[in-house]
């Protein structure tokens, strides 16, 4: 047998089943600044020795490591856990560290031996030997400890040799032994990546509108200047992101008409997603493509003014990033090799059978010219980053290659680490999750179709727990320009209200297709599909904010409460509570943030939400609370303050009565406190 060159034998400790991780550590786990990320591992050693386990965390590219202890969460299963938190955004990494705890091992062994020798004639002699062994252990540890701890351990060793076993319970001795576990001597796992982002990456409140429908004069094409004039009203509703569908020139060829008619009538504006028109290029450097502004919307100077005014109103502009082209796009003329071609040589238009999109050409991301195409797509993002855009809603990313998105997002974040990408991919769960694992900040969720109590609980429990929560951040939208869910067909305003309460309190990221939802637009397309009649995707709309029913006051109240309470910024702390009435949904969220000296900082209290799922009738019942999840001492009363109605109650014990009237108050949003 060949001799080993090792100076020490291999470690006896095995570290396994480390979490959280994505693809075994190949892709980063997601976290935000201030979030407590739970770390777990199984740590196994042969024999009866005890171990110390910790987690070491550091920003990528640095050497200094913050080491925090893990505790035994399931001792019989050798499972350890704890949390880490992050001060700064950027790529981080963690690893699990472990050492044999010779002092704890000796104490455990000595205590068992003392019990066994209690009736033995030679007990005192053997115990003396055992104490001497313990002293030797402390001598060895003292050689590894610096400063005052060394003196503490040497004094404790002398005490053991003199027969004083009280040092076994001395906290100072135990504390000093912790210094005998240097990181360099640890058995360590590999490092696992964590992408730490700013809190705004996970917590956001989106409002979507079509600029061309923002004119105060019915029938006139709206402008970016018209959007600028609406910023104050949108900010007053409590939104912090204003998302604009494509603002680029729209193609003339095969332009779609109202209600997605195959041909447009003269004067009809077409779909903004039919991007590009080299014949009517608008204002921009690329002659009417993705870096140009539609001529009727305004100029790049108007856009720059919009971005600046939005920031002044506490809003961030989000742009649509749709990688497709109209037949009139400059790329079709200049780079036909970037597109898919039929056998007859013509370019293949987009299809999603039975739907046909003759006004849109998809790009060929896997063709021979893929490198040039990928670079051109990246250049679009970089152009708008240069004009102050930091948020992109990406249209149909699941129809483009995964490697493309990973490459593009990684490249962007190297120079613009705070850029947010929202994935608009309503498709198979594994595909949606893969996109966010590869780098998308957020992804749309199935919320529009989760209606019943059971469906909502199942959906959000999955989103809030590992492994989904480790990489997938959902954005809950009750509607989009593409989706008018069947439950909203001909629905009363009360249903729109309760759906917004659910979306905004269950999910840290929420959004609405603004005017349509705010004004309770409920007329479905004649086609029988879950789409809007008179869809704003194909025509200019004029929204009647005076006479139409509106849930704007409720939206403003809910958004204010969201921003004032840190608990709504978390999904991992979501807990559902039992209620015998299936039309009442109860859940809570907590925040682990410490007290802040900033009087404007959000409160860190626990919140409890109870929602009436019935838009037509009063619902009442007993809510059976998990008081431990609320941080409440079950032996004492506690206070709940309804933040929507500004009403306070004192509750006793886990079971408490609620009654909700859909037309007056669709929900209780309680702040829970206990003196």
- Ordered by start, the domain boundaries in the chain are 13-101+185-196, 103-180, 210-244+313-322+377-524+544-564, 571-673
Which of the residues in the chain have pLDDT under 70? 1-6, 117-123, 592-601, 603-604
How far does the chain reach from its first CA to its final CA, in angstroms?
A: 70
Max distance between CA atoms of the chain, in angstroms, equals 109
φ/ψ of 474, rounded to 5, equals -80, 150
Interstrand relation of 667-673 and 638-642 (parallel, antiparallel or unpaired): antiparallel
Task: Name the packing angle between helices 123-142 and 171-178 (round to 10°).
Answer: 40
210-244+313-322+377-524+544-564, CATH topology level = TIM Barrel (3.20.20)
DSSP 427: S
DSSP 595: P
Provide the 10 A C-beta neighbour count for residue 148. Answer: 11
Residues 517 and 480: beta-carbon distance below 8 Å: no
φ/ψ of 12, rounded to 5, equals -85, -10
Burial 642-654 (b: 16+ CB within 10 A, else e): bbbeeeeeebeeb
Two tokens at 85? 């938190």
Residues 244 and 320: beta-carbon distance below 8 Å: yes
DSSP 642: E
**In which residue are the tokens 């990688």 written?**
323
Provide the 10 A C-beta neighbour count for residue 428. Answer: 10
φ/ψ of 361, rounded to 5, equals -110, 125
Residues 503 and 477: beta-carbon distance below 8 Å: yes
Start-end of H helices in 293-368:
300-312, 330-334
The residues carrying an active-site annotation are 395, 424
Percentage helix, strand, coil, to 5, in the chain? 30, 25, 40
Q: Which CATH number fits domain 571-673: 1.10.274.10, 2.102.10.10, 2.60.40.1180, 3.30.70.1900?
A: 2.60.40.1180
Q: What is the pLDDT of residue 478?
A: 98
CA 115 to chain CA centroid, nearest Å: 53
φ/ψ of 652, rounded to 5, equals -130, 125
**Dihedral over Cα of 434, 439, 442, 443: its sign:** negative
Q: How far is CA 253 from CA 277, 296, 299, in A?
A: 9, 18, 23
Beta strands in 209-267 (DSSP E): 241-244
**Dihedral over Cα of 279, 284, 290, 293: its sign:** negative
Q: What is the pLDDT of residue 597?
A: 47
Residues 282 and 295: beta-carbon distance below 8 Å: yes
DSSP 397: G
Q: What is the pLDDT of residue 543?
A: 95
Q: How far is CA 460 from CA 384, 422, 485, 607, 666, in A?
A: 34, 19, 18, 17, 20
Angstrom distance (rounded) from CA 620 to CA 623: 9
Angstrom distance (rounded) from CA 511 to CA 500: 9
Q: What is the pLDDT of residue 42?
A: 97
The yes-or-no answer to whether 13-101+185-196 and 571-673 have a common fold is: yes
Q: What angle do CA 481, 486, 487 make, to 5 degrees?
A: 110
Residues 89 and 418: beta-carbon distance below 8 Å: yes
Start-end of H helices in 509-662:
514-518, 552-564, 627-630
φ/ψ of 253, rounded to 5, equals -65, 130
pTM, 2 dp: 0.91
- Based on its alpha-carbon atoms, the radius of gyration of the chain, rounded to whole angstroms, reads 31
Q: How far is CA 286 from CA 278, 292, 297, in A?
A: 9, 6, 17
Angstrom distance (rounded) from CA 272 to CA 651: 53
Two tokens at 218? 């019915």
Cis amide leading into 467 (omega within 30): yes
DSSP state letters, 75-115 = GGGTEEEEEE--SS-EEEEEEEEEEE-HHHHHHHHHHHHHH
Q: What is the pLDDT of residue 351?
A: 84
Residues 414 and 443: beta-carbon distance below 8 Å: no
Q: Which CATH number fits domain 13-101+185-196: 3.10.580.10, 3.30.70.20, 2.60.40.10, 2.30.30.140?
A: 2.60.40.10
Q: What is the pLDDT of residue 165?
A: 83
Two tokens at 473? 């951040």
Angstrom distance (rounded) from CA 633 to CA 674: 8
Provide the 10 A C-beta neighbour count for residue 596. Answer: 12
CA 415 to chain CA centroid, nearest Å: 22
Angstrom distance (rounded) from CA 629 to CA 567: 13
CATH 1.20.58 fits 103-180, yes or no: yes
């Amino acid at each position: 047998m060949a001799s080993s060159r090792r100076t020490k034998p291999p470690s006896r400790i095995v570290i396994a089943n480390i979490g959280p991780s994505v693809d075994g550590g190949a892709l980063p786990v997601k976290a935000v600044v201030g979030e407590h990320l739970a770390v777990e591992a199984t740590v196994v050693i042969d024999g009866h020795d005890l171990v110390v386990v910790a987690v070491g965390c550091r920003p990528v590219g640095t050497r200094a490591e913050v080491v925090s202890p893990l505790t035994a969460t399931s001792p019989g299963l050798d499972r350890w856990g704890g949390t880490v938190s992050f001060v700064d955004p950027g790529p981080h990494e963690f690893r699990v560290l472990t050492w044999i705890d010779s002092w704890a091992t000796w104490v455990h062994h000595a205590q068992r031996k003392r019990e066994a020798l209690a009736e033995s004639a030679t007990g005192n002699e053997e115990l003396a030997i055992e104490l001497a062994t313990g002293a030797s252990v402390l001598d060895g540890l003292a050689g590894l400890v610096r400063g005052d701890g060394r003196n503490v351990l040497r004094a404790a060793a002398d005490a053991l040799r003199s027969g004083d076993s009280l040092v076994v319970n001395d906290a100072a001795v135990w504390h000093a032994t912790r210094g005998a576990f240097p990181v360099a001597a640890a058995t360590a796992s590999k490092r696992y990546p964590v992408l730490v982002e700013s809190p705004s990456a996970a917590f956001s409140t989106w409002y979507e509108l079509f600029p061309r429908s923002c004119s105060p004069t019915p029938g006139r094409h709206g402008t970016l200047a018209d959007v600028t004039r609406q910023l104050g009203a949108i900010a007053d509703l409590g939104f912090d992101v204003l998302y604009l569908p494509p603002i680029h020139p729209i193609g003339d060829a095969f332009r779609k008409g109202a209600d997605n008619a195959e041909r447009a009538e003269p004067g009809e504006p077409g779909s903004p997603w039919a991007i590009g028109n080299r014949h009517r290029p608008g204002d921009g450097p690329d002659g009417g493509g993705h870096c140009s502004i539609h001529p009727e919307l305004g100029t790049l100077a108007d856009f720059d003014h919009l971005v600046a005014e939005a920031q002044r109103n506490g809003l961030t502009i989000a742009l649509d990033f749709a990688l497709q082209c109209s037949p009139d796009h400059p790329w079709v003329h200049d780079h036909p090799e970037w597109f898919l071609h039929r056998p007859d040589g013509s370019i293949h238009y987009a299809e999603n059978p039975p739907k046909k999109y003759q006004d849109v050409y998809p790009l060929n991301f896997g063709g021979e010219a893929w490198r040039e195409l990928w670079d051109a797509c990246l250049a679009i993002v970089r152009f708008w980053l240069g004009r102050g855009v930091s948020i992109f809603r990406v249209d149909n990313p699941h129809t483009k290659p995964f490697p493309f998105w990973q490459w593009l997002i990684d490249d962007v974040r190297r120079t613009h680490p705070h850029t947010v990408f929202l994935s608009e991919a309503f498709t198979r769960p594994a595909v949606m999750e893969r996109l966010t694992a590869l780098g998308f900040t957020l992804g749309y969720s199935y919320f529009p179709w989760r209606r019943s109590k059971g469906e909502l609980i199942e959906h959000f429990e999955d989103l809030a727990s590992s492994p989904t929560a480790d990489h997938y951040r959902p954005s809950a939208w009750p509607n989009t320009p593409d989706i008018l869910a069947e439950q909203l067909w001909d629905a009363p305003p009360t249903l729109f209200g309760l759906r917004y309460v659910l979306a905004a309190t269950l999910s840290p990221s929420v959004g609405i297709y603004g005017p349509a939802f705010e004004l309770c637009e409920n007329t479905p397309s004649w086609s029988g599909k879950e789409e809007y009649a008179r869809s704003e995707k194909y025509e200019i709309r004029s929204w009647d904010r005076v006479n139409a029913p509106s849930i704007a006051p409720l939206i403003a109240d809910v958004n204010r409460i969201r921003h004032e309470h840190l608990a709504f910024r978390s999904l991992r702390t979501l807990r559902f509570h039992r209620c015998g009435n299936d039309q009442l949904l109860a859940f809570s969220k907590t925040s682990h943030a410490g007290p802040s000296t900033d009087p404007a900082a959000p409160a860190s209290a626990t919140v409890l939400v109870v929602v009436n799922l019935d838009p037509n009738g009063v619902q009442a019942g007993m809510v059976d609370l998990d008081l431990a999840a609320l941080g409440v001492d079950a032996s004492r009363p506690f206070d709940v303050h309804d933040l929507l109605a500004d009403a306070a109650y004192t509750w006793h014990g886990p079971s408490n009565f609620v009654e909700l009237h859909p037309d007056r108050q669709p929900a209780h949003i309680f702040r829970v406190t206990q003196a």
